[in-house]
Chains A and B, each alone.
Chain A
Amino acid sequence: MASVAMTVNGKSVSGDVEGRTLLVDFLRNDLRLTGTHVGCDTSQCGACVVHVNGEAVKACTMFAVEADGAEVATIEGQANADGSLNVIQQAFQDHHGLQCGFCTPGMVMSAAALLKDNPKPTEGEIRAYLEGNICRCTGYHNIVKAIMAASGQDVATIAAE
């Protein structure tokens, strides 16, 4: 067992983990932050995307001890301070960017990482950035539209209505 300490959504947390404990399992099982989902567990689907030191990573493909000392952000920390949805989350709701919702935590975290580096992405850039986030319900159009809207851009031109 190894001791790990990190900051998760601004709070200092610590715990004892095995070497093989994945970051996503530490978040879900030890910290009970179950908003980060495990979809494929093979780093394909992106439902487990969180930010580690500001960068989007797949929490199912990183060990908890590798995040020792890091700043981790999960979907639970995305809402505004007053509990209302942040601009990306609100856009997903407004533009019907989810159906079953299983992929949504990863989609929102990937969208946040994209908009941090590229505040006004084109539709093509959004679609390219979501390469590692799989949704089996929506067909992606409304997810792309939501991210476009969250970036303050006109969504009327998005391919399919």
Chain B
Amino acid sequence: MYAFEIERPSTIADAVNALKSEDAQALGGGQTLIPTLKQRLAMPASLVSLTGIGEMQGVCLGDAGEVCIGGATTHATVAREAAAHYPGLAGLASHIGDPAVRNRGTIGGSLANNDPSACYPAAALGSGATIITNVREIAADDYFQGMFTTALDEGEVITEVRFPVPEKANYQKFVQPASRFALVGVFVAKYADGVRVAVTGASEEGVFRWSEAEAALSGDFSAAALDGLSVPADGMISDLHGSSAYRAHLVKVITGRAVTAAG
């Protein structure tokens, strides 16, 4: 790693101020950023740790019944504390990485990084979540802008994420056997006004909504409703772990599994 300073502010305001200095970068749980720094793929002058900020921690229920999660809340905490309110989301959080990673990694860090194979982007997009930063609220549909790219501006911090709670939801992933990242992961959520289907791991554009499946499932929430559908291989990731055609095929299979598991 190149040398850098670390600051540990205790308020959002102090963190935002610290991030104004040149080449400062936010540090969530560090489960992606620290390996990146080790490979010298990033060279910040300073890191601003967000994990000591109390007002960005924890899970609560909002006035409209939505689940509100502080940006610096770990996956393990979401798995535990969201289970009673939004089991589909808690289930996703409980299968990210491994137990030690879940004790450090944060929802804000995952969403800010927007890894094309990360799990949380599928939950946020599949739930129509709202990403709340120190300056504004961003709808998930506007937030994800391609692989490792988001609507966040320089120095903008995810302070909270709000998830409307669906009637049913489930996340299924087909993991790459070595890295355990999602080769394809699908989050399905059934709301009163329709079904949302968000796919991670598959597309070169990062997480995306499979709108044909949403339309079919909104009429008939069963895996059989997907029978006539197919996902084009164009734009799907192709690498040594799987061709684009394989990933496209998996999207349908995993979506069906998620619908069945959602019940």
Residues of A that sit less than 8 Å from B by CB: 2, 18-20, 22, 41-43, 46, 49, 55-58, 61-63, 65-66, 68, 110, 113-114, 129, 131-133
Contact = CB atoms under 8 A, between A and B. Distances in A.
Interface string B27-45: 0001100110110000000
A114 B98 CA distance: 12
Given A19-B3, A66-B8, A61 B103 contact: no
Contacts, number: 72
Contact of A20 (B4, B35, B103): B4
Q: What class of interface size applies to chain B in its complex with A?
A: 20 to 34
A132 B98 contact: yes
Nearest to A65: B6
Which 9 residue pairs are nearest across A and B when measured between Cβ atoms?
A132-B98, A19-B6, A131-B98, A55-B103, A20-B1, A56-B100, A58-B100, A61-B34, A19-B5
Contacts of B101: 43, 58, 61, 132
A19 B100 contact: no
Contacts of B38: 41-42
Contacts of A18: 3
A42 B180 CA distance: 14
Contact of A55 (B5, B76, B98): B76
Nearest to B44: A19
Contact of A56 (B34, B99, B180): B99
- Central interface residue in B6, B8, B30, B76, by most chain A CB within 10 Å: B6
Nearest to B103: A55
Interface of B: 1-6, 8, 30-31, 34-35, 37-38, 46-47, 49, 51, 76, 97-101, 103-104, 180
Contacts of B99: 56, 110, 113-114, 129, 131-132
Contacts of A56: 99-100, 103
B189 to A, nearest CB: 25
| Among A66, A68, A110, A131, residue most surrounded by chain B Cβ atoms (within 10 Å) | A66
A13 to B, nearest CB: 18
B104 A19 contact: no
Contacts of A58: 100-101, 104
Nearest to B180: A131
B51 to A, nearest CB: 7
Contacts of B180: 131
Given A42-B35, A43-B35, A65 B100 contact: no
A129 B99 CA distance: 6
Nearest to B34: A61
Contact of A132 (B46, B47, B97): B97
B37 A110 contact: no
A17 B6 CA distance: 11
B98 A65 contact: no
